[in-house]
Structure 1
């Protein structure tokens, strides 16, 4: 099903998935029902279950990684595919069902005014709620990222984000696989490379199956790791990595 046609803005929806056989089929079906004109690729991140087969049966193209690289590695694979095949817009939609495909167009519309558009929680839409250390971390991270990006952001760790052509090229050059690198470090690097960021309010949903949260101790670890990751991202010299993102033609 994948292939670029003559649309003005060929769009690729990238779905990173690791052992999501219970969720990915429904997610792909929802995406195709909402926007059948968009192309969908599932990046099977070294799954040991039937994620790849379920995704194909639902109508997505699938790229299977030989082992688990994490969300950052999976997304860099997706952006590389987008660049090589001439897509001018790419958007991440998680396989677990938290990102509502009905909001895809709203997030993509943010690319009309910026290179990167984030589907943001905590922006007066929906009832998504996080408490305790995890919530404190998100507030601190959003404030720091707002200063880095030069615009108000309420959700620096949202994975529901879209990239225009300059951001796709930047992400192919630098999209870290380490913890929080896919959201924080990649965004800092993009800003240091001169790319612009905006956010669009969206309502997140709970996972369809499985669990993704920890208890109090896990939330505290989340806080410490998030702040540490952002600190490293801010002080790391990114400018030389991404400064050419706007000047080179896609490979």
Structure 2
């Protein structure tokens, strides 16, 4: 039986934050499939993520966040895919709030805001997602 939720975390040199992030996610959501896609890190990211219990896929060199996201999508077994950064800027506690919106919505996107306007990074991510074509 495949997991219902696959959480995909693309990382690049996040050894300092990925371990505690994964442990918090495992504590809050023990049934999630945890996928870390290492995009050619040169630090101990892979070892820390593996020790924390994630399934780790590694790119041989840094080819970008978009490629890491696509690798995660290909490897995921869950019916619902959740993406978050590995540097600790996203709060794992917010995942549950987003999942409450399923199945009413097919896609839910969380956004950090400043004064009610999406930050540049969020706007860039939206452009990436809307411009992405399935392979």
What TM-score, normalized to structure 1? 0.48
Structure 1 158/110 Cα, relative in aligned 2: closer, same or farther at 3 Å? farther
Aligned to 1:4: 2
1:112 match: secondary structure: coil
Q: Using the alignment, how far apart are the partners of 1:91 and 1:15 within structure 2?
A: 9
1:91·1:108 contact (CA, 8 Å) conserved in 2? no
Structure 1 residue aligned with 2:18, among 24, 40, 49? 24
In the TM superposition, residue 121 of structure 1 has moved relative to its aligned partner by 1.9
Q: Which structure has the larger Rg?
A: 1
Report the aligned-residue RMSD.
2.6
Unpaired stretches in structure 2, ≥5 consecutive residues:
none
1:16·1:44 contact (CA, 8 Å) conserved in 2? yes
Structure 1 residue aligned with 2:103, among 112, 122, 126? 112
In the TM superposition, residue 108 of structure 1 has moved relative to its aligned partner by 2.2
Structure 1 residue aligned with 2:65, among 68, 71, 89? 71
> Could you give the per-residue CA deviations for residues 32-66 of structure 1, whole angstroms, max 9, x where no partner exists?
01111111011011001110000011111100111
Unpaired stretches in structure 1, ≥5 consecutive residues:
123-128, 131-137, 140-153, 160-179, 191-240, 246-251
The answer as to 2:92 corresponding to 1:101 is: yes
> Could you give the per-residue CA deviations for residues 180-213 of structure 1, whole angstroms, max 9, x where no partner exists?
4xx13333247xxxxxxxxxxxxxxxxxxxxxxx
1:1-251 equivalences in 2 (<5 Å)? 4-5=2-3, 10-82=4-76, 85=77, 87-122=78-113, 129=114, 139=117, 154=118, 157-158=121-122, 180=124, 183-189=125-131, 241=133
1:19·1:48 contact (CA, 8 Å) conserved in 2? yes
Q: Using the alignment, how far apart are the partners of 2:42 and 2:26 within structure 1?
A: 25
1:90 match: secondary structure: strand
In the TM superposition, residue 156 of structure 1 has moved relative to its aligned partner by 7.7
In the TM superposition, residue 4 of structure 1 has moved relative to its aligned partner by 1.5
1:118·1:158 contact (CA, 8 Å) conserved in 2? no
What TM-score, normalized to structure 2? 0.86
In the TM superposition, residue 70 of structure 1 has moved relative to its aligned partner by 1.4
